Amino acid sequence: MVHTILTLPHIFRAAVKEPPMQHFLRISRPTPRRNRFRHMLPLIAAGAVLTTAAALVTGTGAATAAIPAAAPAPAAAAAPAVAAAPTAFVHPGVLVSRSQLDYVRGKVQAGAAPWAAAYTQMTSSSYASLSRTPKPRATVECGPYSNPNNGCTDEREDAIAAYTDALAWYISGNSAYAQESIRLMDAWSSTITGHTNSNAPLQTGWAGSVWPRAAEIIKYTYTGGWPNSGRFATMLRNVYLPEVINGSNSNGNWELTMMEAAVGISVFLDDTASYDRAVARYLNRVPAYVYLSSDGSLPKTVPGSGLTTASQIIGYWQGQSTFVDGLTQETCRDFTHTGYGIASISDVAETAYIQGQDLYPQVGARLQQALGFQSKYELGTAPPSWLCGGTLTLGLGPVTEVGFNALHNRMGIAMTNTQTLTESRRPAGSNNLFVAWETLTNADNPDVAPGGSTTPPTTPPPGGGAGPITGIGGKCVDIAGASSANGAAVQLYDCNGTAAQSWTVASGGALQALGKCMDVAAAGTANGTVVQLYDCNGTESQVWQPGSGGTLVNPQSGKCLDATGNSSANGTRLQIWTCAGSANQLWSLPSA
């Protein structure tokens, strides 16, 4: 489903687009912190006409229907229900668990790919130097345009180095790495008292996401002692947590990174109240950062964001007025900042999963779509004219491993574009901000859950069942000739228990078999358009939603999965047709 809001795109784009970032820092003119968000929401001049439209796009065109210019924005996203934090935290348990690290250590020691190469990459980097000179400051000052940059790079890189050394210690058993990690953490905990200037919240989020990863590994696996671990905990509680816990109304990657820091710090501090607070804010931000067609004609907003009109929301989304599954609030800004947001969505979900709290029912579909959408264009697909004016600034960064491992390897969701991108860029290094060595820690790793569990989360994403789909005459939905070729016919046939009749109800509503998806041919919407097997691509032509009385509705066309001619004969081709609730449109899905 594509939703288009017709407005004055060129005027809006000129009004709201920020110039390129320098040194990965926000470059808007310095303003008092309380005024930053107000300056991000320029409105079209008084008297400009805002016309909104809903667009239902097929493979080649769009149908739009104008609605009044004053159409209200959607209601702000309510906080999704989430279980309370665990009564006792798992340690180590910030992004990586002990069982996960054990798996990595075994693979590295065996010289297995891609882990051995990823380990060599890490230990060959400057971050793994055993003679690094820490550069702590009492006050880290980070402004726009990296001006001033008083300790910002030093702090981030020392944090990444401490995490690098902690990983190297666990994998190699060389205590010199553990001692180096401790030396770096001690240097900062004895010195820093605060962050200042306009980028203080983001800087604190970046460094604050990494410090707890290092501290967790050292405190809970190194037996040589860390006398100043209490002082380090005090630093996290007094210097970092207050700066990030209240979030931000700046671009969405800010708050997502800040919540990643808050969650990790809370785990290290065994602070369940702060953990719950950070997770709740994270669950508000994710739906406001990644769009799904089920959100309606406009993206969701965060309560208290101040985004109350369509024009404000479009401005916040970088002037983009056409919304499709997987588009993020910063896609039209650039993929680098989008990558920061995706990384933190993935990292928080994995930390929570390690702690026994499954957040994938809330965020899994959005993460899947965001990864697939950005990966498609990062791989070279030319953007259409309606997407960011036909121009994208690529550079997603090394941010796909965590989400890909969780969704594809652990949950079995087909993610063709994300898989191609992820595997082609291994081993993934560091973005020198807060992402580091995720091929090493997460590539094809089944042991993220403590205790080495290889089972999926307790609560599956929407759907989650696997098995036959039965229809009229008790026949099964079948792939003709058990062929996995694109375009293979989807038909009715006597149930026989083969793989060609085993369908998985995936996150987002896709129906998967033989590694591919049930697809409406050519994204058609007309009665009689045949249904086929095709590479999973995350489009609406591959979404099937339960309708009334047992029907399966394709939301792109608004029509139902239908057995041609009301027949139950073997070989009857499936198609889409106007929903009538007749026997040839009633289906029984596999139970979850």
Last residue within a domain, chosen from 409, 442, 475: 442
Indicate whether 557 belongs to any domain: yes
Co-location of 422 and 320 in the same domain: yes
336 pLDDT higher than 80: yes
Does residue 449 sit within a domain? no
Q: Are residues 287 and 390 in the same domain?
A: yes
Is residue 577 situated within a structural domain? yes
Contact assessment for residue 517 and residue 502, using Cβ atoms and an 8 Å cutoff: no
Q: Tell me the per-residue pLDDT of 13-48, one tens digit each, with 9 for 90 and over.
A: 333 333 333 333 332 323 333 333 333 333 333 333
Verify that 437 and 484 share a domain, yes or no: no
40 part of a folded domain: no
HSE, CB side, 13 Å, CA atoms: give it for residue 49. Answer: 6
User: pTM of this prediction?
Assistant: 0.68
The mean pLDDT of 127-132, rounded to a whole number, is 98
Supply the pLDDT for residue 557.
86
User: What is the DSSP track for 479-495?
Assistant: EGGG--STTPBEEEE--
One-letter-per-residue 3-state SS of 16-60:
HCCCCCECCECCCCCCCHHHHHHHCCCCCCCCCCCCEEEEEECCC
Average pLDDT over residues 477-483: 94
For residues 116 and 164, membership in a common domain is answered with yes
Residue 194 has pLDDT above 80, yes or no: yes
User: Between 252-269 and 200-221, two packed helices, what is the crossing angle to 10 degrees?
Assistant: 30
Residue at which a domain ends, from 426, 442, 458: 442
Which two three-digit tokens encode residue 382? 């030319």
Residues 244 and 309 in one domain: yes
What pLDDT sits at residue 72? Answer: 42
Residue 52 lies in a domain: no
Q: How high is the pLDDT of residue 316?
A: 98
The DSSP secondary structure of 336-372, one letter per residue, reads: HHHHHHHHHHHHHHHHHHHTT---HHHHHHHHHHHHH
Domain of 471 in residue numbering reads as 466-585
Q: What pLDDT is stored for residue 28 in this prediction?
A: 31
- If asked whether residues 483 and 399 sit together in one domain, one would say no
> Tell me: the pLDDT tens digits for 150-187?
999 999 999 999 999 999 999 999 999 999 999 999 99
Tens-place pLDDT, residues 110-125? 999 999 999 999 999 9
Q: Given this model, what pLDDT does residue 305 score? A: 94
CATH number reported for the structural domain that contains residue 551 in this entry: 2.80.10.50
SS3 2: strand
pLDDT over threshold 50, residue 68 = no
What pLDDT is attached to residue 233? 98
Q: Do both 169 and 219 map to the same domain?
A: yes
* Interval 339-355: pLDDT, tens: 999 999 999 999 999 99
Considering just the CA atoms, what is the radius of gyration of the chain in Å?
Answer: 25
DSSP for 520-538, written as a single string: EGGG--STT-BEEEE----
Among the candidates 410, 442, 474, a domain finishes at 442
Does 480 lie in the same domain as 408? no
Report the number of distinct structural domains present in the chain. Answer: 2
Instruction: Looking at the structure, tell me whether residues 529 and 407 fall in a common domain.
Output: no
User: Is the same domain home to 98 and 165?
Assistant: yes
478 and 388 within one domain: no
> Is residue 28 one of the residues assigned to a domain?
no
User: What percentage of the chain exceeds 70 in pLDDT?
Assistant: 82
CB 564 within 8 A of CB 573: yes
480 Cβ contact partners less than 8 Å away, ≥ 6 residues apart: 488, 489, 490, 491, 571
Q: Is 501 within 8 Å of 466 (Cβ atoms)? A: no
Residue 27 lies in a domain: no
- State whether 392 and 523 are in the same domain: no
* 377-435 pLDDT, tens digit each: 999 999 999 999 999 999 999 999 999 999 999 999 999 999 999 999 999 999 999 99
pLDDT at 92: 97
3-class SS of residue 300: coil
Establish if 425 belongs to a structural domain.
Answer: yes
